[in-house]
DNA sequence: GTAAAACTTTCAGGCACTGCAAACTTTTAT
DNA sequence: ATAAAAGTTTGCAGTGCCTGAAAGTTTTAC
């Protein structure tokens, strides 16, 4: 990787860092793209060379590329239940996020305080969601137009996001992986009342 | 209801109708608020007296008020599983939508063609979602900060939206209620593989 | 009929975001 | 080393969403 690409990477993370810091201090609505750009020492036009929207600078790049996730999903044995399978293929992403804990906690805090970002979080990777749905469909021998793959995709995604939110408000020793497992288990049990689980 | 309120209602639906028609014809990005307002014979500033954003004009008002839903949810016996309970309290909304089938199919078509609206659909009523989460929490004796109520809220919401999408692409004799029941049953079975259901 | 209340419009302006073309920087080829 | 090529940053002009304030219009209440 040449000098040019290193610089680009640097600028990109400088922009995200500035966006997160400023949004955390004042709320995203009271931070302009111009201010973020100035804090990262670039023009505001350059900001938009890196991110399509102001929100995107907060969200950063996807943790893992969708293609890898889908490939691994198809490699798993067919008799693994879909919830377990998705949990398995998400594991690398979980590790990456856990390793970057500080960054992610800040990010989640900002997201929580900004409803518009909450939406964005729900669609982060939604562009690629079709591929994910197709992978699930292939696993069970259905088509992407069927209900099951669509539902499995959006429900597992939702469970993951809830786990992220819980992690963000938890203590410093809590592991994201545990929250994700908790959410996924609840989904796998069909949202059975957890308080009567023991009967 | 006086003349004034009747007029307001009229203007509101004229705006939604114009927004839907134009967005369906050209795509939402190629329709300006000014055009929508002109089609409904009001100024564009008035548009924003009715809807906070352009997207909101497409989405229209929530079908049922959240308060009613939450109240009915708490009235149901505690031993009804949460998925069934939510399905029950959503039923009035389903009927209203089924009655307005034409409008909703158009709306769903527009939403499908506009990724940004897809997000909005996922947050429609998210402002009120806290109340819904609290109602679920109360049902099972947990707090809104616990995982279960948050997960149950977002998962049932997701299932409902998937059902809407399926309905929108289905034949003219298909009932929304059937798609919702299908989705909810899949959730209740923990996303078990539907192709091996019979074993 | 008149005054108050509610609603609409016009106006001025902020900010996100885009296309374009000019300037600049890094890389490549010679 | 140098010049061309390729890629990046920037300023500029412009569109469109959305907002606050003030002035104008319609509806309601008495």
Report yes or no: B147 and A165 within 8 Å, Cβ to Cβ. Answer: no
- Residue B174: how many CB atoms within 10 A of its CB? 12
pLDDT at A198: 60
pLDDT at B63: 83
Among B80, B186, B99, B61, residue whose Cα is nearest residue B140: B80
Q: How far apart are alpha carbons A57 and A40 in whole angstroms?
A: 12
- We find that the CATH architecture of domain B66-196 is Orthogonal Bundle (1.10)
Has residue B121 got a pLDDT over 80? Answer: no
Question: Nearest residue to D15 (CA, C1')?
Answer: B32
pLDDT (tens digit, 9 = 90+) per residue, B58-98? Answer: 999 888 888 899 999 999 999 999 999 999 999 999 999 99
Superfamily of domain A3-52: Homeodomain-like (1.10.10.60)
Has residue A134 got a pLDDT over 70? Answer: yes
> Nearest nucleotide (C1') to the CA of residue A6?
C26
pLDDT (tens digit, 9 = 90+) per residue, A51-72? Answer: 999 999 999 988 888 889 999 9
Residues of B in contact with A138 (CB under 8 A): none
Band (A124; pLDDT cuts 50, 70, 90): low
The token pair at B107 is 């709306």
Contact A123 B119 (CB under 8 A): yes
Using CA coordinates, name the residue in chain B closest to A166: B147
Report yes or no: B153 and B136 within 8 Å, Cβ to Cβ. Answer: yes
pLDDT at A79: 94
For residue A98, say whether its CB is under 7 Å from any atom of strand D: no
pLDDT at B126: 60
Has residue B199 got a pLDDT over 70? Answer: no
Report yes or no: B88 and B177 within 8 Å, Cβ to Cβ. Answer: no
The answer to whether B182 contacts chain A (CB < 8 Å) is yes
Q: Which CA distances in Å does B198 have to B10, B128, B195?
A: 51, 39, 8
Mean pLDDT rounded to a whole number for chain B: 92
Has residue A110 got a pLDDT over 90? Answer: yes
Mean pLDDT of B166-186: 95
Q: How far apart are alpha carbons B187 and A151 in whole angstroms?
A: 8
Q: Which CA distances in Å does A181 have to A187, B30, B39, B163?
A: 10, 44, 51, 26
Contact B145 A194 (CB under 8 A): no
Residues of A in contact with B186 (CB under 8 A): 147-148, 151
Q: Which helix (H) or strand (E) holds B76?
A: none
The answer to whether A115 contacts chain B (CB < 8 Å) is yes
Has residue B18 got a pLDDT over 90? Answer: yes
Has residue A105 got a pLDDT over 80? Answer: yes
Place of tokens 């307002």: B37
Band (A157; pLDDT cuts 50, 70, 90): very high
Residues of B in contact with A150 (CB under 8 A): 162, 165-166
pLDDT at B44: 98
Four-residue CA torsion sign, A116, B33, A127, B169: positive
Q: Which CA distances in Å does A25 have to A11, A113, A116?
A: 21, 11, 17
With H, G, I as helix, E, B as strand and everything else as coil, classify residue B101.
Answer: helix
Band (A1; pLDDT cuts 50, 70, 90): low
In sequence order, the 6+-apart residues with CB closer than 8 A to the CB of A164 are A97, A104, A108, A121, A176, A179
Domain boundaries, chain B: 3-58, 66-196
Report yes or no: A117 and A28 within 8 Å, Cβ to Cβ. Answer: yes
Using CA coordinates, name the residue in chain B closest to A118: B123
The partner residue sitting opposite B162, judged by closest CB among A81, A83, A147, is: A147
pLDDT (tens digit, 9 = 90+) per residue, A70-103? Answer: 999 999 999 999 999 999 999 999 999 999 999 9
Tell which CATH classification among 3.30.565.40, 1.10.10.60, 3.30.160.270, 3.40.50.300 matches the domain B3-58: 1.10.10.60
**Could you tell me how far CA B105 lies from the centroid of its own chain?**
13
The answer to whether B161 contacts chain A (CB < 8 Å) is yes
């Amino acid at each position: 990787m040449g000098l040019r690409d290193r610089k680009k990477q640097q600028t990109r993370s400088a922009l995200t860092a500035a966006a997160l810091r400023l949004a955390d201090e004042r709320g995203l609505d009271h931070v302009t793209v111009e201010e973020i750009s100035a804090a990262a020492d670039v023009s505001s036009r350059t900001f938009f060379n890196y991110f399509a929207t102001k929100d995107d600078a907060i969200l950063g790049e996807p943790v893992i590329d969708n293609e890898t996730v889908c490939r691994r999903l198809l490699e798993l044995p067919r008799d693994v239940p879909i919830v377990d399978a998705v949990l398995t293929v998400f594991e690398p992403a979980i590790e990456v996020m856990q390793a970057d804990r500080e960054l992610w906690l800040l990010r989640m805090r900002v997201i929580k305080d900004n409803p518009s970002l909450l939406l964005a979080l729900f669609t982060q990777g939604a562009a690629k969601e079709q591929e994910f749905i197709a992978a699930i469909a292939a696993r069970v021998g259905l088509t992407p137009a069927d209900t099951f793959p669509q539902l499995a995709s959006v429900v597992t995604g939702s469970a993951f996001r809830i786990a992220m939110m819980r992690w963000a408000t938890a203590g410093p020793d809590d592991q994201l992986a545990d929250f994700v497992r908790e959410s996924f288990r609840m989904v796998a049990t069909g949202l059975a009342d957890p308080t009567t689980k023991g009967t």
